[in-house]
A and B are shown apart, each in its own frame.
Chain A
Amino acid sequence: MLDTQSDEGYITADGRKIGGVAMEMRNITLRFGGVVAIKDISFDIRWGEIRAIIGPNGAGKSSMLNVISGFYHPQEGEVIYKGYKRPKMKPYQVARQGIARTFQNIALFEGMSVLDNIMTGRMHHMKANMLQQALWWGRASREEDENREQVEKIIDFLEIQHIRKTPVARLPYGLKKRVELARALAAEPSILLLDEPMAGMNVEEKEDMCRFILDVNDEFGTTTVLIEHDMGVVMDLSDRVVVMDYGKKIGDGTPDEVRGNEDVIRAYLGVSHD
């Protein structure tokens, strides 16, 4: 165990109990050639909390999410997950450790039905080997059935029963976002990463999405990290907020603390730099 500082967490304003540290980012620096996307950022994510990352465009938020999900490998710093330093691993290995995510520009599998998309999210819960699958025998058919049941629960939860067998390509934007959330949830993740889950939605759809995120957190206790531009949404939803600007962390704390932070106000309102 590298991590010794796992304290007992805290109680949120609305009375939810937040656990110890699930993941800790330590001094992450990420460069693309000469461009520094993330500069020496540290923060932690606790079990059960909704953690937001905010910041102006190009602040490095999505890069941060990509570091967490293992798509980018930072040049410096380390990721501590469940108390252990995470070695450099492929994105699919990270996913297998219980980190699921959605994408900024929807990344659903357009050629497949909604059901198949969500079932793909459950692939780590299916262990039948190729021969069993080829013969559709023993484990293969049993697993398919059991996982289908789990998936149906999520379908019910997100209220997408009516489009279950629709090819994803035919769905409108808002529903696609919801299906993507369903796919991530199907994995039963320890940590759920949401990259701008409400981008491009109208008010009604945003309200629905907020409700789902809160319900997911409530029902399954899923630790959630989200990137979002809508300040109102972020302040309402999240327990703690990291604020980034030009690849640096300029604020970290509860929504109220962040709201009062001088640097944050400057980054958002554009007070003249002198």
Chain B
Amino acid sequence: MFMGFMRHFLNTYVYNKNQKNVQKNKKFFSRLLCENIEFIKREFGDTADLSIKYLKIKDISSALITIGGMVNKDTLTHSVMKPIIEKQDEIQGTTGQEKYKYIRDNIIVSPDQLQVSNFDDAFNMLMSGFALLAIDGCDCMLCLGVQGFSFRSISEPSTEIMQRGSREGFVEPLMINMTLIRRRLKTTDLRFDLTQIGGVSKTSVCLCYLNSKVSKDILKKVKQKLSGVNLESIMESGYIIPYLEDQGDFSLFSSVGMTERPDTVCGKISEGRIAILIDGTPNVLIVPYLFIEYFQHLDDYSMHTYFATFTRWLKYLAFVLSVLLPGLYVGISTFNPEILPGPILTKIALAVGTTPFSLMFETILIHLIYEIMREAGLRIPRPLGHAVSIVGALVIGETAVSSGLIGAPTLMVVALTAISSYVIPNLYEPISILKFVFIITGGLLGIWGIMIVFTLVLVNICSKNSYGVPFTSPISPFNIFAMRDVLVRSGWSFLAKKNIRVQDLPGSEVKDRNINKNI
């Protein structure tokens, strides 16, 4: 399986794409084994994991080159070494080249074989867990698929828990992730386009889409943007997000989605989106990604429509609360207390009167403490996590209030804000920044300032485009048909009536969209 992937990779990327330009710069193998081995050793230096096992095949020197820890030794022994040694008397041919051909076609039982003729390709394969068989007198090497590195098993992603549905999540090896998608979409329309980015890491990146659904215009743009990634190494999908966003378009909200669930990816690519799988990370990127998608969860589609609609509205409310509540609390209590009902105003006034800090400072302080605790909870070893929770609950929950440093209403507002922000975890980053902005604005300019900043943020969101599709579509530009999955989650009978592709949404500037008046 892995071999097939590598062959495809080499054919599509290494051979076809680069053949014209890069071939000149590539260093090809020599016919002398010692020269080739010398070059490999020189390139790798004194690295401890490079393993070179010399073999004698009917008086001709040969070598089996591997990277330690990346190959399965049992497979290597049984599929490669044992047949060569046991059947070396049967090997025909006099020259190294002839022997190489005989071994390749008749001796080695491994089904995953690929021939390489230059060092670049050989190194690529070697570092992907292949074994290289080099024979003296032959100017090519045989790559043998004997990978055996260990990886995390497939499990439910902790960041995207679902009540119902699959418990499978993406893992680190790219090939496994591709299989997880293929298993769910058994159609020949599904395409995986492989490429490689990162000057040093040479990370494999795979574009996944449905050929009949995807916009060729968007696909071209994605490929262009990926080719513009000039990083040395890509360790995580987050590294390339800035390259996939529109340049010079500052916004707190990203127009590149991220998921760890194969079922989510399948749903997204069915609507014409493109998934970007990156080797070594379970986080798959999705483009184009619209603002409304932050509030859509796969669970919505397995629940009853009325409950899914209810949870959808809860998410909208939670977003508004998490962004605006602390700012409004500070702004209204400081500048427009007359808006508040009497009993609430009395409670706040009492709390503010007994605490030493201003309401704005107090709210910022607790939010900062909360963010520090959250960060600590994320980074410290799990056994200590409980200790952080206890300290946090005691220090903030009990001591701060009872000692009169912090007012109880402020603490409640912060707690409500924090809980609300967990409802839409994908939006945590913008929410955490925006709430501070609104607290400061509320504290300095009151409800007036908050409304101005709110409209400012609204304009910022509205100005964004995700690959030519308005970020705020289908709310603005408005599309009544697409609203079936925005304000309400309609039943499947209605949702299945028409599959709206992302490029067909109103306001889209994508060239090859289907201009349909109903959409």
User: Do A and B interact with each other, yes or no?
Assistant: no
Task: Please give the residue numbers on chain A whose beta carbons come within 8 Å of chain B beta carbons, in ascending order.
Answer: none
